[in-house]
Chain A
Amino acid sequence: MKAFVLALVASLVFLPGAQAAEKVKVCTLSTILTELAQKVGGDRVEVIGLVKPGIDPHEYEPAPSDLQLVAQSQLILASGKHMEGYLTKLKESAGGSGDLVPVGDRFASLTMKPEEGGKQGEAKEIEDPHWWHSVDNVERATKVVRDELEKLSPADKAVFDKNADAYIATLEELKGWIKRKVAELPRDQRKLVTSHDAFQYFARDYGFTIYAIEGVSTEDEPSNRKVAEIIDTIKKQNVKAIFLESIENPKVLKVITRETGARIGGSLYADGLGLGADGTYDGMMRHNVTTIVNALK
């Protein structure tokens, strides 16, 4: 009898613990969101990033094995703002009951005109999907991820709140560092020539003017007229350096540097995290800001 009572007590003690140990299954379609989910969720979540570092999210297409992972996930985090054109099909094909959350759709967008004759081929303005180049947006995204995790696992609310607050504190520190670093660069030299139009949010926050050779997507091809305009602008504005991006073909940029005499200022991470020291959001932003400021000074 004594043994039975002990076993019963033990089962009552350990059963809730076993249930609490059940982790929330999250899959993400962006390296930035992978980090957010891991930071906010901590050891209470199991995160699978479908888009790995170095993969161009504009060109990513889900493999059959990815559909299986999506189907098994309770939460699917996407960048939103039309970054993932395949979202609806992905959810339909994969099935499953997980919540699909296009995180970027929860806050305001910057818009821009598509390049003439570009892939969009429409006169209406399009949203810039690269919201993570504004640290303020990443703070907003952190809160979105926190709220979604709390809906799925209310018992872990305190943990998610604490983790989100700690992560936002590091983002605040990063914001201060960026402001001070960018302040080293005269405001009349804040002209950023990049291969694709991914830095509008960064430009808005820190007073840069963007001259992008391609459109919003890396799949957009620049027209000869656009390239000629960029060359003219670089010469007129005395732009010292232009920047490559980690993912794409820098051929056109090399032609422009030959024609203008501007130098290659370095490589920027536009569409997601890098590897090694640049494999975190903090590392990516510090790399980009240091590269830009040092090249344009």
Chain B
Amino acid sequence: MRGSPILRAVLVVAALLLLLVPLVQLTKPVHAAPVAQSAPPAATSVVHLELTSTRAPFEFELRHLGQVIWSGSATENQVSKDVAMNFPTEGVDLELKGQWTGGVSMAAIKLSVANGEARAVEKSLWATKEFDDVLTFP
């Protein structure tokens, strides 16, 4: 190779610097984009709720994810309501709490949940005065 040694050195340094750019790009740590901090919301659907008690009157409160979605006092054995709520395929937990305002013998209360056109699923609680439990609906 002919030419000035200084010129040759400059060319070598320039070539190395050019190589440095892709090298830095390739070795730079990649910071992953943070995951979405919330899962895609489950589709909201209209859910038909029905309470049937062996004894009336009774007071009740139904909670979903810690929030009251239905409450009241029933003078008849059966009450129902439609609510809009998220119903993921994994199911929902509903806390049913309340009390019968008369009587002392054992009684039962049944919660029936129908998600859209799906067949209703029923769960029951037994107690003498107060009832409070979490019921899972698939």
Contacts and interface: CB of A to CB of B under 8 A. Distances in A.
A188 interface: yes
A176 interface: yes
A184 B66 CA distance: 5
A186 B65 contact: yes
Q: Indicate the size class of the contact surface on chain B.
A: 20 to 34
A260 B35 contact: yes
Contacts of A235: 35
A259 interface: yes
B110 interface: no
A260 B33 CA distance: 7
Contacts of A262: 35
A186 B36 CA distance: 16
B59 interface: no
A190 interface: yes
A187 B91 contact: yes
- Central interface residue in A183, A234, A260, A261, by most chain B CB within 10 Å: A183
Interface in B107-138: 132-134, 136
Contacts of B133: 176, 179
A182 B134 CA distance: 10
A238 B39 contact: yes
Interface string B66-84: 1000000000000000000
Nearest to A236: B35
B90 A188 contact: yes
B33 to A, nearest CB: 7
A180 interface: yes
Contacts, number: 64
A159 B122 CA distance: 42
B118 to A, nearest CB: 16
Given A188-B89, A190-B90, A183 B35 contact: no
Nearest to B67: A184
Contact of B134 (A183, A190, A259): A183
A239 B134 CA distance: 24
B90 to A, nearest CB: 4
A188 B42 contact: yes
A186 B86 contact: yes
A187 B88 contact: yes
8 contacts: A176-B133, A183-B94, A187-B88, A188-B39, A207-B136, A258-B32, A260-B32, A261-B33
The 5 closest A-B pairs by CB, nearest first: A261-B34, A188-B88, A187-B90, A183-B93, A184-B66
Given A188-B89, A240-B38, 15 more contacts: A176-B132, A180-B134, A183-B134, A185-B65, A186-B42, A187-B90, A187-B136, A188-B90, A189-B39, A190-B90, A207-B91, A207-B136, A237-B39, A258-B32, A260-B35
